[in-house]
Amino acid sequence: MKQVVSIRAPAKVNLLLRVLGPRGDGFHELETIFQAIDFSDELTVELAGDSVELEVTGADLGPITDNLAVRAAEAFRRVAGLETGVRIRLAKHIPAGAGLGGGSSDAAAVLRALQHLTGEAVPAQALSTIGAELGSDVPFFLCGSPLALARGRGEDLSPWPPLPVAHVVVVCPPVHVATADAYAALSRSRLSTVVSTRADLDAAPTNWESVVELARNDFESVVADRHPEVREALESLRNSGLQMVMLSGSGAACFGFARGAKEAESTADRLSAELGWRVKATRSLDEVPSISLM
């Protein structure tokens, strides 16, 4: 009897994102706090056929060979020496290119699902290496915690105990922010400004008040300058009275924290009507989504 597993791939927001400078390998040294949120793609994964197959609903994500979920499955098969194929069905809800980590989360979900289906055919360290090679955000989605500090390219992770569930409003402006362009704009802006330095993060935050003191995204001003829609999203969230309003990743999604579910829902409904964009009321996660047998 064939086994099929289902798994949710949650989005993330960055509660802190400092770009500390370029590295010798062409990437940038980062310091970021990841928080998973209840805004998810849905996947089913099974061992079937003799190649990797992907069926996507909900969005056109371009060529299948470029999809991170497919690349994750191919890498897993190669490292595990797995001869059977992998069939993936992906219901896409997280917008692509929004700074919410949707593609990376999909890749991590596939890796977790294949570990489950194969009885952990790939050692944990090798799985982490696969994740890091796929993308800078993938290791977070593999780390087993919904809250983590990441350094390096994102692969140097310190999972943190989850904070109490908080309510979040996410605004998705209808623009695509290319990560490379955001880094280039940030580099140009720093010709006359001070480069970011490491935050004081000797201990994990124990409450949201301590996170507010750290909250910052080095991309925010340069991305907002280049994309008026991003600036409008940030201003709309702030004018709604939300707290800790920020850009996520290199954008274009922006988010803010409400005082409760009712405020989050009413704010999301109003901003959606006013802006005509996708706006979602959701919450932070206090645990990683589990894998379910179908």
CA–CA gap between residue 167 and residue 227 (Å, rounded): 26
Beta strands in 92-207 (DSSP E): 147-152, 156-159, 167-172
**Contact (CB, 8 A) for 254 and 171:** yes
Q: Which of 12, 41, 106, 280 is catalytic?
A: 12
Q: Which of 41, 106, 137, 218 is catalytic?
A: 137
Angle (nearest 5°) at CA 112 between 111 and 117: 95
Helix axes 261-275, 228-239, angle to 10 degrees: 140
137 annotated active-site: yes
87: DSSP letter: E
119-124 contacts, C-beta under 8 A, 24 or more apart? 121/76, 121/80, 121/81, 121/82, 122/76, 122/79, 122/80
CA–CA gap between residue 118 and residue 78 (Å, rounded): 13
The phi, psi pair for 291, rounded to 5°, reads: -95, 135
Token digits for 38? 């209840």
Give the DSSP per-residue string, 5-30. EEEEEEEEEEEEEEEEEE-TTSSEEE
Q: Which residues are catalytic?
A: 12, 137
